[in-house]
Structure 1
Amino acid sequence: MDLDPSRQTVTVALERAATLYGDAEALVDGEIRLSYTELRAQVLVAARGLVALGVRPGDRVALLAPNSRHWVTSALGALHAGAVLVPINTRFTAEETLDVLHRSHARALIVVGPFLGVDRLADLRATGARLPEIIVPLPADWPDSTAELPPINPDQLSDILFTSGTTGRSKGAMSAHRQSLGVAEAWASCGELTADDRYLIVNPFFHSFGYKAGILACLLRGATIVPQPVFDVAETMRLVERERITVLPGPPTIYQTMLDHPERSSHDLSSLRLAVTGAAVVPVVLVERMQQELSFSTVLTAYGLTEAVVATMCRPSDDASTVAHTCGAPTAGFELRLGEKGEVLLRGPNVMLGYLDDLEATAAAVQTGGWLHTGDVGSIDDRGYLTITGRLKDMYICGGFNVYPAEVEQVLARLPGVAESAVVGVADARLGEVGVAHVVISPGHSLSAETVVEFCRERLANYKVPRLVEFHPSLPRNAGGKVVKHLLRKENV
C-alpha cells in the first residue's frame, strides 16, 4: 500500500503501518508493548466505542490526558470515527479547559483520571458548568461494538489545536488530515526517521510537536513510540538506556539538564542519534556538547508554529554553527519570505485552514496571496536558511532604536554560567523602554548582575545592553518550550 502523506488520511496511515510493520513494536508504555497490528486493533476498538456512544462524523472529541498509550489510541480512535480531535493542554485550569470545550463545541471529552495530584474531571464538574454529553474517563472501558466506521477523505478536518495563548486568548488552528500528515512526513524526512528508530516523546501530545512530529511521524515510518508523561531527567535517561532510544527531540533545556546531571555518566546513552530542538536560543557549544557527550550524531533545529507546524528545518549535513544560528531551510512545501519589519511570512499547502469561528483573526493571519503572517522577525541567508531574530511583539524601542531580544539572548548564551535567558523590554521614563535580562544560572556557577551587563556591553551597542538583570531558578514556559515573556514583563511592571 503506497502512501502519499499529502493526499491521504490518518486512518490510511495506520492501516499502512499495520500492513508494512505488523509485529514490530509500535508503542512502549511502561510494561505494555504493542505491535503495529495490536495498536491498530486497539484503535479500532476505541473508534467503534466512540461511534457506539454517539460520536458522529465531524463531531469534536476533546482529549485531556498526559502522554501515554491511552492518548495515542483515543486520539487515533477519534480520527477513525470521523471526529475532529481537540487536544487540551494538561496545564490548563478548569476555567481554561471549559473555554476550549465550549468554543470547540465538543461532543465528547476523553479525560484522564487523577494525575499529578489533580482530578481534572472532578474540577470541571465542581464548576457546575455544562460539560460535553459524552464523558469517557481514562483508562477507557470502551463499549463492545461492531459499529461501521465512516469513510474519511484527506480534506476532512482532522484536528483543532489551540495556540498557547502567550500573548492573549488562545485560538483554535484547524488542519485537514492531509495537512497533519504532510508536516509529519516533512519532519520524518528531514530527520531521516526509519522503522529502526525508537522515539522517546517528551513533548506533550496535546502540542503539535508531540502529536504531529511525534505520533504521526512514527506512524508514517514505522518507528516505535515511547511516551513520557512528564519530563524528569533521571527517568528520561533511564528510558533511553532501557529502550535503546534513538530519537529524542525537545527544547534546549532538556539537553542542558541531561548534560548537567551528576548521574549522567552512569547511564548508557550511546543509542541516541537524533535530536531536534528549537523554541529558544541554541548556543553552538550546546550543539557540540550534545554530539560529543550525549552521542547524538545528528542535531537539528527547526522552526514552526501551531498554524504551520513544521515550516523550516536544518538538514543532517549542516554544521554546528548552522544548526545553532539558523532554523534551517523551508520544508513541507512551504515558501518563505520576509515582509514589513522583517516579519517571517509562509505560504504552502500546510498552512492552517483557519482559526475556529474567528474569521477576523484568520483574515489578519493569512493575508493576500495566502501568506501566513507569523509575527516572528527573521533574516534569510543566501542559502535560503532562516534565522529568527525576535517577535514583533517582543521588540522594544530603547532611545529610538529597535531592540530584538533574541539578538541579546544569543550573546548571553555565550557567557559561561548562563544556562538560559530571556530579555524583555520595560517602560523607562528617559529612554522609553529598556531591557531586562532574566537569567537562569548553570549548576556550579555564580554570576552577578554587573558581570552580565559588562559581558553584553563589550559585545553589543549601548542601546541593546540590558539595564537590569534578574536571576531565576527557571523561566516560565509553554508546552512548546517557548518562554512566556508576558509573565516576565508583569514582574517588572
Structure 2
Amino acid sequence: MRQSLDPTLYDSSLIDALIDARANFGDKEILEDQDRNPLTYTGLIRAAFVLGRKIAAMTEKGERVAILLPSSMGTVVTFFALHAHGRVPVMLNFTAGETNVKAAIKASGVRKVLTAKRFVEQATLDNLIAAIETVADVVWLDDVRKTIGLKDKLYGLSAGLAPKRFAVKTNPDDPGVILFTSGSFGTPKGVVLSQKNLIANSRQVDAHIGLDKDWVLFNPLPTFHCFGLTAGAILPLLQGLKSFQYPSPLHAKQITDLLPQVKATLLFATDTFLNQYARVAEPGDFATVKFAVGGAEKLKDETRALFESKFGNVELLEGYGASEAAPVVAVNQPGNNHPGTVGQILPGLEYKLEPVEGVDAGGRLFLKGPNIMSGYVTNGDPLRWEPVEDGWLDTGDIVDVDAEGYVTIKGRAKRFAKIGGEMVSLTAVEGIAGAVWPDNRHAVVAVPDTRKGEKLILITDRHDAEPAILSAWARANGAPELVVPKKIMKVDEIPVLGTGKTDYVSLQKMAEAA
C-alpha cells in the first residue's frame, strides 16, 4: 500500500510556498554561494520582487523567460523573481551546444534570455551568446541591477513585509518551469513542470526522508538539470534547510575543500562526481557530511568502497528520478539503506509494471501522481504541451520491485539489446566491466549484427582491456557468454554530459562509425 500525501501540502503557487516557508521556519539564513554573502528568507523575497519588477517591465504576464546561469544565489533569486511577477522560467543547458540551445529557445517560445557577463566570460560562452542573439534578446542581469534605485529598494522593503499582496496571482497547475531532458539517448525534450509538480516533489522527499531543518545541503549540480533545480535549490528553500549553491560539479578539489567550511550535512551529486570527490578529498573534508545522495546514474560499488574506506561517517544513498517526475521517484532513507536498490517509491506516487518480452522479473515502469509533468512542449505551438496520457507516465525504464517495495533499476528500455533472441541489459554488461576493472569508466552500446540481431561493444578508458579477461570473469561468476562484448574500443576519456551522465549519443555514433 503506497503512503498517501495530503493534497493541501502542494496546493499553492511557488512564490506563495516560499513566503509560507518563511512563516513556518522563521527568517533564518537559507541560501549561500561562493560569494559567501548568505541570504535570509526575507532577503531572498525582497531581492526576487525587486529584480522581478525590472524583468516584468520588459516582458508580459505569463511570458516564458529563459535563464542561462550556473547554480548560484543569483540563479535562485532570478527563478523566484520570474514567479513573483507571473513569468515562467525556462532553464537553458549552456553545455548542450549552440544547436540544442537554439532549438530549446524556439521550442519553448522564449523571446528573452537572462544571463550575466561575469559568468559568460568565465565560462567562455561568447560564441553561444552570439548564436542565441540570432533567435532571442539577451538581457544582461549585471546591467539590470545597475538600474535599481531608491524607488525599487522601497518597493522591495514593502514587498518583504507583505509579499502576498505584491505577488502576481498564478495557479498551482500553471507552468512552474520548462527544462530540457539531458538528451543522453537522443534529442532533448522540453518538459513542462507545473508549480504543483515542483512543490509536491519537495513535500514527497521530506515526507519520505524526514529532513532535519538544521541540515545544510550542498548543491554542485546545475539548475538546468531537474535534480539540481528541484532537489538542490527548491526543496531546501521550501522545507527549511539552508543550501549552498556551487556553480560547477567539475571542481572536485574546490568542492571538497568547501564542504567542511560551510558545515555541509547533505551532498547531492551523481556517481561520476562522487567518485571524483572521494579520490581528491582528505579524510577531514567529509567530517560534517552525514549523507551523500547519488542520482541520475547508477551508484557503483567502487564509489561505495571508496567512501567506506576514507569517510566512514558518510552514508551513500542512491535514488532514482526522471525530469518528467520533477524529478525524484524513489530514494533510499538514512538508516534504512538498501545498497543495490534505489529505495522505495515516494509517498503519493502510484506505479505499475508492464511486462517486457524477454525480461522475467520486473517490467516497464509507469508512474502517476502529483509530481508527474504537465507534458512535453509541442513543436508546432510553443504555448501548448502534450499531456501525459491518462496521467500515467511511461518512464521507459525496466525495473523490479521486491516484496518490501525496494526498486532495482535493470536498465532503460532503450538500453537493452536483443542478441540471438535473448534480451541483454547493457547496464548489466557495464557492471561486469566495472567489476573486472573497477578503477576505470566503461560504457556499452549495441550495434546491428547480421547473425544475431545485435552485438555489444564495450567502450572503455582501460587501455589493456581484452575480451578474454571479461570472458574469464563471466565463467567464474556464472554469467552467460552471451553478455560478454567481443569488441572493445579504447578511448582516453568516456564522454559525459553537463549533468554527469554518460553521453550515449556520442558513444553510439562513435561505435557505428568504427
Q: TM > 0.5 between the two?
A: yes
Deviation of 1:126 (Å): 5.4
1:338 corresponds in structure 2 to: 353
> Partner amino acid for 1:410?
G
Contact 1:417 1:446 in 2 (8 A): no
1:131 corresponds in structure 2 to: 136
2:76 corresponds in structure 1 to: 72
2:15 corresponds in structure 1 to: 11
> Partner amino acid for 2:86?
G
> 1:170 is matched with which residue: 185, 188, 201?
188
- CA gap of 1:378–1:205, structure 2 versus 1, over 3 A, is same
1:382 corresponds in structure 2 to: 403
How many residues are treated as equivalent by the alignment? 480
Deviation of 1:166 (Å): 2.5
Deviation of 1:83 (Å): 0.9
> 1:29 is matched with which residue: 31, 34, 44?
34
2:447 corresponds in structure 1 to: 426
Deviation of 1:288 (Å): 4.8
Q: Please state whether the residue corresponding to 2:322 is helix, strand or coil.
A: coil
User: For residues 466-485 of structure 1, what are the structure 2 equivalents within 5 Å?
Assistant: 466-485=485-504
Deviation of 1:489 (Å): 1.7
What is the root-mean-square deviation of aligned Cα atoms in Å?
Answer: 2.8
Deviation of 1:403 (Å): 0.9
> Partner amino acid for 1:76?
F
> Partner amino acid for 2:352?
R
User: For residues 335-414 of structure 1, what are the structure 2 equivalents within 5 Å?
Assistant: 335-341=350-356, 342-357=363-378, 366-367=388-389, 369-414=390-435
**Which sections of structure 1, spanning at least 5 residues, go unmatched?**
none
2:506 corresponds in structure 1 to: 487
- CA gap of 1:34–1:202, structure 2 versus 1, over 3 A, is same
Q: Please state whether the residue corresponding to 1:168 is helix, strand or coil.
A: coil
Deviation of 1:297 (Å): 4.1
Contact 1:377 1:392 in 2 (8 A): yes
Deviations along 1:254-282, whole A, 9 cap, x unmatched? 22212222x524x4321001111133332
User: For residues 15-414 of structure 1, what are the structure 2 equivalents within 5 Å?
Assistant: 15-19=19-23, 20-51=25-56, 53-113=57-117, 114-115=119-120, 118=123, 120=125, 123-125=128-130, 129-132=134-137, 135-138=139-142, 140-141=144-145, 143-144=148-149, 145=152, 146=155, 148-230=166-248, 231-261=250-280, 264-265=282-283, 267-284=284-301, 286-308=303-325, 309-319=327-337, 322-323=338-339, 325-341=340-356, 342-357=363-378, 366-367=388-389, 369-414=390-435
Q: Please state whether the residue corresponding to 2:414 is helix, strand or coil.
A: coil
Q: Please state whether the residue corresponding to 1:166 is helix, strand or coil.
A: coil
Deviation of 1:77 (Å): 0.7
Contact 1:365 1:373 in 2 (8 A): no
Deviations along 1:67-114, whole A, 9 cap, x unmatched? 112111111111111111100002032332222112211143101325
- CA gap of 1:116–1:199, structure 2 versus 1, over 3 A, is farther
**Which sections of structure 2, spanning at least 5 residues, go unmatched?**
1-5, 157-165, 357-362
Deviation of 1:128 (Å): 6.2
Q: For the residues of structure 1 that align with 2:49 and 2:133, how far apart are their CA atoms?
A: 33
Contact 1:82 1:151 in 2 (8 A): yes
Q: Please state whether the residue corresponding to 2:509 is helix, strand or coil.
A: helix
TM-score normalised by length of structure 2: 0.85
Contact 1:155 1:178 in 2 (8 A): yes
Q: Please state whether the residue corresponding to 2:266 is helix, strand or coil.
A: coil
Q: For the residues of structure 2 that align with 1:363 and 1:338, how far apart are their CA atoms?
A: 26
Deviations along 1:94-142, whole A, 9 cap, x unmatched? 332222112211143101325365554664335762314x723447415
Deviation of 1:206 (Å): 1.0
Q: For the residues of structure 2 that align with 1:127 and 1:7, how far apart are their CA atoms?
A: 36
> Partner amino acid for 2:271?
P
Q: For the residues of structure 1 that align with 2:7 and 2:352, how far apart are their CA atoms?
A: 30
Contact 1:66 1:112 in 2 (8 A): no
Q: Please state whether the residue corresponding to 2:446 is helix, strand or coil.
A: strand
Q: For the residues of structure 2 that align with 1:313 and 1:291, how far apart are their CA atoms?
A: 20
> Partner amino acid for 1:387?
T
Q: Please state whether the residue corresponding to 1:290 is helix, strand or coil.
A: helix
